[in-house]
Structure 1
Amino acid sequence: MSKSNKFTVQEREISFLSHGDNDFLSLTDIAKYRSNYDPNDVIRNWMRGKSTIAFLGLWEILNNSDFKPVEFDGFKSEAGYNYFVLSPQKWIEKTNAKGIISKSGRYGGTFAHKDIAFEFASWISSEFKLYLITEFQKLKNEENDRLSLNWSFQRTLAKVNYRIHADAITEKIIPLELTKEQSAMIYASEADMLNVALFGKTAQEWKNGNCNLEGNIRDHATLEQLVVLSNMESLNSVMIHQGLPQKDRIAQLNLTAIMQLKSLLNNKSLKRLQNP
């Protein structure tokens, strides 16, 4: 799990964690809408109800293959009785639940998958739940717009570098006596050399295996691949000016792609950019 982020709902800060495609909202912060003094008691009271246990169990059955149904059945049979008490920690420990997590430390508290958090918010206040969903969706839309802008920027950068790359091909590879059609064939060869070095296949090979997708191999590249592609285009133009033959350049470009992709995939700053 990453460090918690925050957004505001009716002048109250709500923390959340993002893990892959899943978002976990702070039940502790949501519970403060009802009680600032002991939000943990609010969460425990919610978890005592039969409908709550049924909902939590169903969510786990649908989303968690490691969930323990026998232990869940025990809680379900006792839920609703005056003596029944259940904490998030006990629920997690006994059933191996994944939809609720309990964190300690600076960014601690009880967090739950957004499906569960919205259900809890509904128990707290229907009005508050509506504001919570609205503000959280607004936040995610802004995040998606930002990531789309970053991807578009890298795509544009790759296109700009391709122009530099193409100019180097014109100057150093294409003899003046070639026709435009012959020149275009060499451009295609150089572009596919980069595709093979980075993606492991030519544009046509990719298209043959992805007939149902629109666009080309580069349109479906990841942010990391586009960053590396722009660097490879610049490097290839330098090697072209140095007079290196294509067979030597493709080996160097492939090593560069492997090295840079490994570095980017382990880059914490880039991960924060993609998961702010």
Structure 2
Amino acid sequence: MSKINVEGSEISIIAIDNRDYISLTDMVRNIENGSALIEKWLRNKNTIEFLGIWEEMYNTNFNSPEFEGIKNEAGFNRFILSVKQWVEKTNSIGIVARAGRYGGTYAHKDIAFEFASWVSPYFKLYLIKEFERLKEEEQKKLGWDIKRNLAKINYRIHTDAIKNKLVPDKLSKEKINFIYASEADILNVSLFGITAKEWRDENPDLKGNIRDYADISQLVCLSNLENLNAVFINEGMSQSERLEKLNSIAIEQMKILSESESIKKLK
């Protein structure tokens, strides 16, 4: 569940079958008799027609004959329709009623925006603005998660290559860790021009390590260098040869990445 704040109202958003559903209940929570507005909107003939068109576009199990009967009744003073009745009679998927802690009436974003427009065009515009902002943040987080997981995979490839090719048998744990650290520093020196210890000595007040303060371009390049170093290790290339080659590659890649429009957008 996600939440957005629209003009002082906290509005919940849930995912159903990978689709975003926005709480209509939250939209009218701060309006007097707000819950009655949802059913009033639902009884509107134009609303019924809109919902029917949406369902026929996206819902293969929509009960069209039942919908036609409801549409013919809409507009009469005697016409009454609740969300629960609408869902049960038509097999609707565009609007759902949820019970429990996060209960209420939720509608697919297309329908929720239509409801917001009926309540207040002003509110609708801000709702769309905040919803789009949320989606942008989710995309950024997704991109970061993908990059982080890719870095983990590349790190495993790199450390396995070290283990299989550079770590002799029956070494102490301390010496094995030294080999891993020295290999990590090959990448640090190739890209940043400095070892991890030198960076810590120069930045005693900063927490973490040099890679925690790298920018997007440097992290992408570092991920590439880990892969390449694993290949060079498996090929039997010496540490000095690898350092020189990786540094040359890092220089070329950083030139390209610094001019990349995609990287600029991530930044």
Q: Same fold judged by TM-score > 0.5?
A: yes
Report the equivalent of 1:48: 43
Report the equivalent of 1:101: 96
Contact 2:84 2:97 in 1 (8 A): yes
The whole-number CA distance in structure 2 between the counterparts of 1:141 and 1:5 is 13
The whole-number CA distance in structure 1 between the counterparts of 2:34 and 2:81 is 14
Q: How many residue pairs get matched? A: 170
Report the more deviating stretch, 77-86 or 55-64: 77-86
Q: Which structure is larger by alpha-carbon Rg, 1 or 2?
A: 2
Structure 1 spans left out of the alignment, 5+ residues: 173-232, 234-276
The whole-number CA distance in structure 2 between the counterparts of 1:106 and 1:57 is 30
Aligned partner of residue 105 in structure 1, secondary structure:
coil
Aligned partner of residue 147 in structure 2, secondary structure:
helix
Report the equivalent of 2:25: 28
The whole-number CA distance in structure 2 between the counterparts of 1:21 and 1:106 is 21
1:157 aligns with 2:152: yes
C-alpha displacement of 1:22: 0.5
Deviations 1:30-55 (A, max 9, x none): 1235x23x322101110111110011
Report the equivalent of 2:137: 142
C-alpha displacement of 1:80: 1.4
The whole-number CA distance in structure 2 between the counterparts of 1:85 and 1:171 is 77
C-alpha displacement of 1:137: 1.0
Structure 2 counterparts to residues 119-134 of structure 1, below 5 A: 119-134=114-129
Structure 2 spans left out of the alignment, 5+ residues: 168-229, 231-267
C-alpha displacement of 1:170: 3.0
2, 13, 16: which one aligns with 1:16: 13
3, 8, 13: which one aligns with 1:6: 3
Deviations 1:38-94 (A, max 9, x none): 322101110111110011011111111111001000011111122211110100011
The whole-number CA distance in structure 2 between the counterparts of 1:131 and 1:99 is 22
The whole-number CA distance in structure 1 between the counterparts of 2:90 and 2:130 is 32
The whole-number CA distance in structure 1 between the counterparts of 2:108 and 2:2 is 15
Structure 2 counterparts to residues 62-77 of structure 1, below 5 A: 62-77=57-72
Aligned partner of residue 81 in structure 1, secondary structure:
coil
Give the aligned residue type for 2:91.
Answer: N
1:166 aligns with 2:161: yes
C-alpha displacement of 1:168: 3.2
Contact 2:29 2:35 in 1 (8 A): no
The whole-number CA distance in structure 1 between the counterparts of 2:70 and 2:16 is 28
C-alpha displacement of 1:20: 4.1
Give the aligned residue type for 1:5.
Answer: S
Give the aligned residue type for 2:147.
Answer: S
The whole-number CA distance in structure 1 between the counterparts of 2:59 and 2:133 is 28
The whole-number CA distance in structure 2 between the counterparts of 1:94 and 1:86 is 10
Which 4+ stretches in 1 moved above 6 angstroms? none
The 1:66/1:20 distance shift into structure 2, 3 A limit, reads closer
C-alpha displacement of 1:161: 1.7
Contact 2:2 2:13 in 1 (8 A): yes
Report the equivalent of 2:182: none
Report the equivalent of 1:175: none
Under a length normalisation based on structure 2, what TM-score does the superposition of the two structures give?
0.60
Deviations 1:169-224 (A, max 9, x none): 4348xxxxxxxxxxxxxxxxxxxxxxxxxxxxxxxxxxxxxxxxxxxxxxxxxxxx
Under a length normalisation based on structure 1, what TM-score does the superposition of the two structures give?
0.58
Report the equivalent of 2:190: none
C-alpha displacement of 1:99: 0.7
Deviations 1:105-138 (A, max 9, x none): 2111111011100000000011100000100110
C-alpha displacement of 1:103: 1.1
